[in-house]
Structure 1
Amino acid sequence: MIRFEDVSVWYDGAAEPAVEGVDFEVPEGELTLLVGPSGVGKSTVLGAVSGLVPHFTGGTLRGRVTVAGRDTRTHKPRELADVVGTVGQDPLSHFVTDTVEDELAYGMESLGLAPAVMRRRVEETLDLLGLADLRNRPITTLSGGQQQRVAIGSVLTPHPKALVLDEPTSALDPAAAEEVLAVLQRLVHDLGTTVLLAEHRLERVVQYADRVVLLPGPGARPVIGAPAEVMALSPVYPPVVDLGRLAGWSPLPLTVRDARRRADALRERLADASPVDGRDPSSRAASNPGTEVPVPRRFLRRRSVPDAPQAQPAAAVTSLAVRRGAVEALHQVDLTVTAGETVALMGRNGAGKSTLLSALVGLVEPARGSVRTGGVVPHRTAPRDLVRRVGLVPQEPRDLLYADTVGAECAAADRDADAVPGSCRALVTELLPGVTDDAHPRDLSEGQRLALALAVVLTARPRLLLLDEPTRGLDYAAKARLVAVLRGLAAEGHAIVLATHDVELAAELAHRVVILAEGEVVADGPAAEVVVASPSFAPQVTKVLAPQQWLTVAQVREALSS
C-alpha cells in the first residue's frame, strides 16, 4: 500500500539529508509504528506519504514513494487526498470549519462528491467514531480526545486507503489516548485501513503495532521487524521494555499484562527493598533509555531568588473560581506551592489544568477567590515586575518565540529581564549545545524549541516556573535532559508546577501530584501515594510490580544493584 524505495530528502541549506536510504513497505490493512530519536526525520517520512514533502515543504526528494500505486513526486497532496489522509500533531490548527458535522463534510466538498454521498458518509463516520452526539457541537468546545477523533473523521470521509498520523496521543490524557487508539484498531481490523503513525509515547502504542520501523539516525538505514524484536535494539523504548531488559526477560514484554506474568521472581528479589526517591536533585535523571543525564552545573549552584522572601509560598491559591464564557473552568481550588517543590497537575483534557496555570501567571482574572504568586496578585501586577516572580512555558513554545534567530530571541530575553547581556545565551548553550545564534526558531525540533523557550523564561530567574505539557514532542532522551534541568532548578529553590498527561514524567519528577476533574481538585498528595492509588495515572512500573510501590525503572535498578 505504502512503498518507500531508497528515499532521501534534502532541505535547502541543510548540511545533511533529513532522511537517507529509507526503504520499506507498509502492507494493506496493517498498523506500522515509526520510531526513533528526535530529529531523525520521522515527520519528514510521514510528510512524504501525503506529498507534503516536497510539494509543500520544499527541498529535494530522491528515490520513490508510492501510495496505492501513485507516485507522490508526480501527484500533489490534493491528488492524493482520496487515497491517504493525514492528521498532524495539533488537530486544532488544521480545522477549517466551526462544527463537527461541517468539518467531516469539508474534505468531501473539496473533492466535489455528490451531496447524497457526503450525507451518507458523514453519518457512517459519526457512528464509526462515536461522534453522533457531538455532531452540532463547536469544535473549540470539545475535549482533546474528541478533537482528535474529529480530525481522524475529517480525513476518513473521503474513504482513503491509508491513514498517516504524527504524534496522535501526545496532547491527550491516558483515557482519551486509549479512546483514539481504539478507533485506530477498529479501522485496521474491521475496515482494512492501512495506518502509519509516529509516536514518542511508546508505552501507549507499541503493543498495537503489527510492525515497527526504527529510524536509527543519520546515515543508518531503517530497522524493520516485529515490535519485540525492534525494541530489543532500539535506542528509544517504553518503561515496560526497559524493565524487561533489566530483568533479562526474552522476548521483551510490550504490555503491562505480559510483564506482570513474568514479574514474580523480580518481586521476590525486591520484597525486602524500599524505593529510593529519584527526585533528589543531585540524583541521576532516572530516565527510560538507561542513560544517566548529569544536572548542568548552572542548575546545581544554589542562589537566592530575588524579590521574594523565602518564608513566603511561591504560590498561594484560595477558593479560586475562574469562568471561561458560560463555563466555570475552575471551582473552589486551593493550592499552595513552596520553594523547591515540584507539583504535577494531572487530569482529563478540559479538567482545568491550563486555566490554573493561566491564573497563576495572571493571564486570567479570578471570578472568586484569590491568587498570589511571589507575594503579589499576578493579574494586577505589571508584566515587567511579574517576570521575576513567575514564568510560563506554554504548550506551544513557539507562542513565546517571535524573533528570526536564536540570537535575537536571547537578546530580547536579556532586555526584558534586565539581565546581564549574554545571560540567556549561556542558558541556551547549556540546554541546546550546538545550536547557533543564526538558527531560526522555526527550524528547531519540538524539543529544541521547548529548551529555547525555557531558557527565555529562565533568564529572569522567576521564583515560580510553570510548564504546560512540557514533554509533548520529546523523545525519552530529551525528556531525561528536561528532568535533569528541572531537578537542578528545584535544588536552587525554584518552585515548579507542570501540567502534564505524562504519567512517567510525574513519577520521575514530582514531589506532589494534584489531580483535577471538572475544575475541582479531587486528589492532592505525595506523588507515590496519588499515582499508585490511581489506575489511570499509575506509571507502567507501578502496574507491573503492584502491590509493591515502585514508580520508575531507575528505582528498581538502584535496588537491584545495592
Structure 2
Amino acid sequence: MIRFEDVSVTYDGAALPTVQGVDLDVPEGELVLLVGPSGVGKSTLLGTVSGLVPHFTGGTLRGRVTVAGRDTRTHKPRELADVVGTVGQDPLSHFVTDTVEDELAYGMESLGLAPDVMRRRVEETLDLLGLAGLRDRPIATLSGGQQQRVAIGSVLTPHPRVLVLDEPTSALDPAAAEEVLAVLQRLVHDLGTTVLMAEHRLERVVQYADQVLLLGAPGEPPVLGDPAELMARSPVFPPVVALGRIAGWSPLPLTVRDARRRAGALRERLAGAEPPRETPAEPDTAQAAARRWPRLRKERTATAQDAAAASVERLAVRRGRVEALRRVDLTVVPGETVALMGRNGAGKSTLLSTLVGLLEPTSGTVRVGGAVPHRTAPRQLIRHVGLVPQEPRDLLYADTVAAECTAADHDADAAPGTCRALVDELLPGIADDIHPRDLSEGQRLTLALSIVLTTRPPLLLLDEPTRGLDYAAKTRLVTVLRGLAAEGHAIVLATHDVELAAEIAHRVVILADGEVVADGPTEQIVVSSPSFAPQVTKILAPQEWLTVAQVWRALDAERGESS
C-alpha cells in the first residue's frame, strides 16, 4: 500500500536531512506506529505520505514515496485526498467549517459523494466517536479533546484507504482515547484500512500496533519490525515496558494484562515495602499548615485562606448555552501541585481560564494571590499567575525563538538569557533563528512554558503540558516543576496524562460536567479509578504503587539490604 524508496527530506537551511535512508514497505491493512524521540522526523515522514512534504512544507524530497501506486512527489495533497486522510498535531488548523456536522461532511462534499451516502456516513461517525450530542455545536466552543475527535471524524467519513495520524490521542481523556483507538483497530481489522500513527503516549497505543517503525538518532535509517522486539531497544518506551525491563521479563509485555500475568513474583518482592513518596520542601508556618489540605478543607481557617495561592468558592461559569462550571470549590496553597482531571469538556480549561482572568465568573468568587483575576490588569496579574494554554501558539508572536526569549526576559524584568536557559533545560537543540511556527508541537509547548516560567509566577497553570513531549522531555519537565514546587510555587495542571499525574501531583481533583466529583491525595484518587490509574498501579494492584521510579527505588533498597 505504501512504499518508501530511499527517501530523505532536507529542509531549506538545514545542514542535515531530517529523515534519510527510509526504504521499506507498509502492507495494506496494518497499523504501523512511528516511535522515536522528539525531533527525529516522525511528523516529516508522515507528511511525505500525505503529500504535505514537500508541497506545503518546502524542502527537498529525494527518493520516492508511493501510496496505492501514486507518487506523492508528483501528486499534490488534494490529488491524494480520496486515498489518504490526514490529521495533524493541531486540529484547529484542520477545520474549514463552523459546526461539527458540517465539518464531518465537508471532505465528502469535496469528493462529490451522493447526499444519501454522506448522511449515512456522518451518522456512523457521530456514533463511532461519541459526537452525537455535539452535532450542532460550533467547533470554536468545543474543548481541545472534542475538537481532536471531530478532526479524526472528518477524515474517517470519506473512507480513505490510508489514515495518517500525528498525535491523535494527545488531547483526549483516557476513555475517549480508548474509544478512538478501538475505532481505528476496527477499521484496520474489518475494512483493511492502513494506519500510520505517531504518538508519544506509547502506553496508550503500542498494544494496538501490528508493527513499529523505530526512528533513532539523526542519520540512522528507520527500522520496521515487531513491537515487542523494537521496544527492547527503543530509547523511548511506556511504563509497562520500563517495568518489564527492571523486572527482567522476556519477551517484554506491551499490555497491562500481559504484565499482570508475570507480576506475581514482583508483587511478592514488594509486599513488605512502602511506596516511597515525593516529599518537596515544606513552606514555612501558615503555608505549611495550609499544605495539609484535608485539615484545610475542614477548618477553612483565616490563616490558611491568607496563605492560599488560589481560592475558588461556589464558582459558576457559563459559556454561551453551556454551564461549563457550577458550584466549584478549590483551594491551592504554595508548594502544592494539583492535577485537574476528567473527561473532555468537563470544565478543566474553563477553570484555568477563570483563574487567569480570561473568563469572568457567572457567580461565586475567585482570588489569586489576593487579586481578583478578571478585574486585575494583565501587567499586574502576571506577577501572581501564569498560564501555558493548550494551544501554545497563542503566546507566540515573534519571528524567531531568540526574539520570543528576549521579549520574555524584558516583560519579566529578568536577566538576559533567562528564558533561553529554560528552553535549553527543557528541550535542548532548539535553534535561536528558527520561526516558532516551524517548531513541532512539543517544541512550541516548551517555548511557551519557558516564556511563562521566566516571570516565575507564584501560581503556575498548565493546560495539557505534556502534549507532544516524548518521555525524556517529560522527565525534564517533571524535574523543573518539582523544583518550582519545592521553592513554594503552586502548580495546577489540567491533564489527561495519568502517568504525569502519578509522577508529580500531590493531589488530584476530578471534574465531571462542571462539578468537582473527587478531590484527594493522588495515591487515593488514582488507585481507586480504573480510568485514571497509571499502568504500574494497574499491574501491581492491590498494592498502591504509582510509578516505575517508586518500584526501582524499592528494589534498589532491597538489593542494598541483601548485600
* TM-score with structure 1 setting the length: 0.91
Deviation at 1:190, TM superposition (A): 1.2
Determine if contact 2:536/2:546 at 8 Å carries over to the other structure: yes
1:501 is matched with 496
Partner SS, residue 242 of structure 1: helix
Once the two structures are superposed, residues 330-377 of structure 1 have per-residue CA deviations (whole angstroms, 9 ceiling, x without a partner) of 111111111111111111111111111111111111111111111111
**Structure 1: distance between partners of 2:142 and 2:444:** 27
**Structure 2: distance between partners of 1:439 and 1:150:** 31
**Which residue, 405, 429, 435 being the options, matches 1:440?**
435
**Structure 1: distance between partners of 2:97 and 2:223:** 40
**Structure 2: distance between partners of 1:101 and 1:401:** 31
Change (3 A) 1:135 1:443: closer
Change (3 A) 1:357 1:118: closer
Change (3 A) 1:416 1:263: same
* More off after superposition, 446-455 vs 518-527: 446-455
Partner SS, residue 493 of structure 2: strand
- Counterpart of 2:471, as a letter, is Y
- Counterpart of 2:24, as a letter, is F
1:335 is matched with 330
**Structure 2: distance between partners of 1:372 and 1:17:** 51
Deviation at 1:9, TM superposition (A): 0.1
* More off after superposition, 417-426 vs 213-222: 417-426
Partner SS, residue 366 of structure 2: strand
Partner SS, residue 39 of structure 1: coil
Deviation at 1:126, TM superposition (A): 4.8
1:545 is matched with 540
* More off after superposition, 406-415 vs 198-207: 406-415
1:481 is matched with 476
**Structure 2: distance between partners of 1:505 and 1:146:** 21
Determine if contact 1:145/1:177 at 8 Å carries over to the other structure: no
Change (3 A) 1:549 1:214: same
Change (3 A) 1:117 1:429: closer
Change (3 A) 1:521 1:83: same
Matches within 5 A, 1:387-398: 387-398=382-393
Query: Residue 467 in 1 paired to residue 473 in 2?
Result: no
2:407 is matched with 412
Determine if contact 2:281/2:487 at 8 Å carries over to the other structure: no
1:217 is matched with 217
Matches within 5 A, 1:98-247: 98-115=98-115, 117-119=117-119, 121-123=121-123, 125-126=125-126, 134-142=134-142, 146-247=146-247
**Structure 1: distance between partners of 2:116 and 2:518:** 50
2:45 is matched with 45
* More off after superposition, 426-435 vs 503-512: 426-435
1:303 is matched with none
* More off after superposition, 327-336 vs 94-103: 94-103
Partner SS, residue 448 of structure 2: helix
2:371 is matched with 376
Partner SS, residue 307 of structure 2: coil
* More off after superposition, 222-231 vs 33-42: 222-231
Once the two structures are superposed, residues 402-449 of structure 1 have per-residue CA deviations (whole angstroms, 9 ceiling, x without a partner) of 111222212222332233444333434444544443332223333332
**Structure 2: distance between partners of 1:450 and 1:310:** 32
Partner SS, residue 23 of structure 1: strand
Partner SS, residue 531 of structure 2: coil
- Counterpart of 2:318, as a letter, is R
**Structure 1: distance between partners of 2:333 and 2:125:** 49
Equivalent pairs counted in the alignment come to: 536
2:30 is matched with 30
Deviation at 1:153, TM superposition (A): 3.1
Change (3 A) 1:371 1:533: same
**Structure 1: distance between partners of 2:163 and 2:139:** 21
**Structure 1: distance between partners of 2:501 and 2:128:** 34
- Counterpart of 1:530, as a letter, is I
Determine if contact 1:318/1:335 at 8 Å carries over to the other structure: yes
Query: Residue 367 in 1 paired to residue 348 in 2?
Result: no
2:272 is matched with 272
**Structure 2: distance between partners of 1:55 and 1:337:** 49
- Counterpart of 2:255, as a letter, is T
**Which residue, 513, 516, 526 being the options, matches 2:521?**
526
* More off after superposition, 461-470 vs 122-131: 122-131
**Structure 2: distance between partners of 1:158 and 1:331:** 39
Change (3 A) 1:548 1:381: same
Deviation at 1:143, TM superposition (A): 5.5
Deviation at 1:100, TM superposition (A): 3.1
Deviation at 1:281, TM superposition (A): 7.3
Matches within 5 A, 1:84-95: 84-95=84-95
Partner SS, residue 213 of structure 1: strand
* TM-score with structure 2 setting the length: 0.91
- Percent of aligned pairs with the same amino acid: 83
- Counterpart of 2:360, as a letter, is E
Change (3 A) 1:27 1:434: closer
C-alpha RMSD over aligned residues: 2.1
Determine if contact 1:542/1:552 at 8 Å carries over to the other structure: yes
Once the two structures are superposed, residues 263-282 of structure 1 have per-residue CA deviations (whole angstroms, 9 ceiling, x without a partner) of 11000000011111146479
Partner SS, residue 165 of structure 2: strand
Partner SS, residue 195 of structure 2: strand
Deviation at 1:537, TM superposition (A): 0.4
* More off after superposition, 31-40 vs 452-461: 452-461
Determine if contact 1:148/1:180 at 8 Å carries over to the other structure: no
- Counterpart of 1:78, as a letter, is R
Once the two structures are superposed, residues 186-236 of structure 1 have per-residue CA deviations (whole angstroms, 9 ceiling, x without a partner) of 111111111111110010011011111100121111121111111111111
- Counterpart of 2:496, as a letter, is H
Determine if contact 2:426/2:473 at 8 Å carries over to the other structure: no
Determine if contact 1:99/1:135 at 8 Å carries over to the other structure: yes
* More off after superposition, 500-509 vs 244-253: 244-253
- Counterpart of 1:350, as a letter, is G
Partner SS, residue 348 of structure 1: coil
Deviation at 1:123, TM superposition (A): 4.9
**Which residue, 293, 318, 325 being the options, matches 1:323?**
318
Deviation at 1:320, TM superposition (A): 1.0
- Counterpart of 1:324, as a letter, is R
Partner SS, residue 549 of structure 2: helix
Deviation at 1:137, TM superposition (A): 4.2
1:8 is matched with 8
Once the two structures are superposed, residues 40-69 of structure 1 have per-residue CA deviations (whole angstroms, 9 ceiling, x without a partner) of 000001110010000111100011100001
**Gapped regions of structure 2 (runs ≥ 5):** 283-303, 558-563
Query: Residue 424 in 1 paired to residue 419 in 2?
Result: yes
Determine if contact 1:342/1:495 at 8 Å carries over to the other structure: yes
**Structure 2: distance between partners of 1:132 and 1:60:** 43
**Structure 2: distance between partners of 1:510 and 1:551:** 11
Change (3 A) 1:488 1:222: same
- Counterpart of 1:411, as a letter, is T
- Counterpart of 1:519, as a letter, is G
Partner SS, residue 496 of structure 2: coil
Once the two structures are superposed, residues 125-153 of structure 1 have per-residue CA deviations (whole angstroms, 9 ceiling, x without a partner) of 45655655654444345565554443233
1:296 is matched with none
- Counterpart of 2:414, as a letter, is A
Partner SS, residue 314 of structure 2: strand
Deviation at 1:26, TM superposition (A): 1.3
Determine if contact 1:343/1:510 at 8 Å carries over to the other structure: yes
**Structure 1: distance between partners of 2:281 and 2:186:** 44
Determine if contact 2:390/2:463 at 8 Å carries over to the other structure: yes
Query: Residue 458 in 1 paired to residue 453 in 2?
Result: yes
